[in-house]
Amino acid sequence: MSDEYFNHDGEGSGFFSLILLAVFLLGGFVVARVYEPGQAIGADAAKARLAKREKIETAASGRLAGHAWGSKEKEFVSLPIDKAVDEVAKLGSEGTRAELVERSIEKDGKYEAPKPVDVSGVDLADPALIAKGKILFMTKTCFTCHQTDPAIPAPAGLAIKSPQFIGDFWGKEREVHIGYLGPIQKVVLNEQYFIESVSQPLAKVVKGALAPMVLAPGLVNDEEILALMAYVKSLSK
């Protein structure tokens, strides 16, 4: 081949290289133009978040440090943390409890013990009564909270740590709160306690339970309570 052919091929290669370089530079310019605004937007968003956080922390610190209305409708006032601690210390545990009891009575009325259910002449070991109680235990959805079989969990009961009816429990002592989260007292799980726990579930709440039993008024009558009691008592082994 002639020298003219090689010279022509060299010129083409050089021109192609210039085109590649131009494309590379143009691509870099485009990427830089796209990246810079995005970086600026990200920085602005970070500054906005920081400013919002500082505003919230300042407001929270202000509430802890001074007097402020929490709710005028409910007459709730926030105090400086050191003053609040002093006020609670002045009341003392008994004073605080008495105040809470007084407020509770004012709001919901005074606690009245449930009317006694006559269990005399009732055979709690009667198979028919136990069978009726087992059906009620299911239809009244007691099984959702109170586990009766180690192999069958009660999902809701596991979540709120409801008492289980497994093992030897009837006639045994247990610790309860007098009222929800009230003072602790020891009671015996017997007929009287069972009737009260069903008819007045907020009167005594088992220690460790995360929530009291929710039972709509009138959901069970006296006959059904006796049947439920017969079934639950039969589970104690």
Indicate the average pLDDT of the chain. Answer: 77
**If pLDDT is split at 50, 70 and 90, which confidence band does 75 have?**
low
| Class of domain 127-235 as given by CATH | mainly alpha
- For position 5, what pLDDT does the model report? 46
Which of the two residues, 147 and 29, has the higher pLDDT score? 147
Q: Model pTM?
A: 0.52
Q: How far apart are CA 122 and CA 105, in angstroms?
A: 36
**If pLDDT is split at 50, 70 and 90, which confidence band does 229 have?**
very high
pLDDT digits 0-9 by tens, 181-204: 788 889 999 998 898 888 888 888
The answer to whether 230 and 130 are in contact (CB under 8 A) is: yes
pLDDT digits 0-9 by tens, 2-24: 455 445 455 555 666 767 766 76
The answer to whether 198 and 225 are in contact (CB under 8 A) is: yes
Which of the two residues, 53 and 16, has the higher pLDDT score? 53
Q: How far apart are CA 216 and CA 204, in angstroms?
A: 16
Q: How far apart are CA 107 and CA 111, in angstroms?
A: 11
